[in-house]
């Protein structure tokens, strides 16, 4: 095999491997709507509201754990989809779990 062929084979193998890697990560992320909610919705929203990253992470992890106790993965995936599609009831449900947790975070901030 000449040098050009080796380079082309290496590039092809890299691209195939990269495609498999990114696909597996996309599938894995799709399987955990709780982590998706934490990363995509909750933490950015809390930071936008003025909390530091660690405070946002703490409150959102608490909310995620509370939601995991109440909902199966499939149920939560439906709730999250409804929220993202503008369903006020779904948003209110997510907000109620988050508020309880963020009340604790704010108490810790105030009484440190």
pTM > 0.85: yes or no: no
Per-residue pLDDT reduced to its tens digit, 14-70: 444 444 444 444 455 457 999 999 999 999 999 999 999 999 999 999 999 999 999
Domain ranges of the chain: 1-31, 32-110
CA dihedral 59, 38, 34, 105 (to 10 degrees): 0
Half-sphere exposure of 11 toward its Cβ, with a 13 Å CA cutoff? 6
Q: Are 58 and 105 in contact (CB under 8 A)?
A: yes
Residue linked to tokens 């993202």: 84
**Among 54, 68, 67, 75, which Cα is nearest to 99's?**
67
Residue pointed to by tokens 């108490």: 107
- Backbone dihedral angles phi then psi of residue 71, each to the nearest 5 degrees: -120, 145
């Amino acid at each position: 095999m000449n040098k050009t062929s080796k380079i082309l084979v290496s590039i092809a193998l890299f691209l195939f491997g990269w495609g498999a890697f990114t696909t597996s990560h996309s599938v894995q992320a799709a399987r955990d709507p709780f982590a998706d909610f934490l990363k995509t919705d909750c933490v950015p929203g809390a930071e936008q509201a003025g909390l530091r990253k660690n405070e946002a992470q703490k409150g959102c992890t608490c909310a995620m754990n509370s939601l995991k106790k109440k909902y199966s993965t499939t149920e939560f995936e439906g709730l999250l989809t409804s929220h993202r599609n503008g369903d006020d009831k779904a948003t209110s449900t997510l907000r109620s779990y988050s508020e309880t947790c963020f009340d604790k975070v704010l108490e810790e901030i105030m009484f440190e």
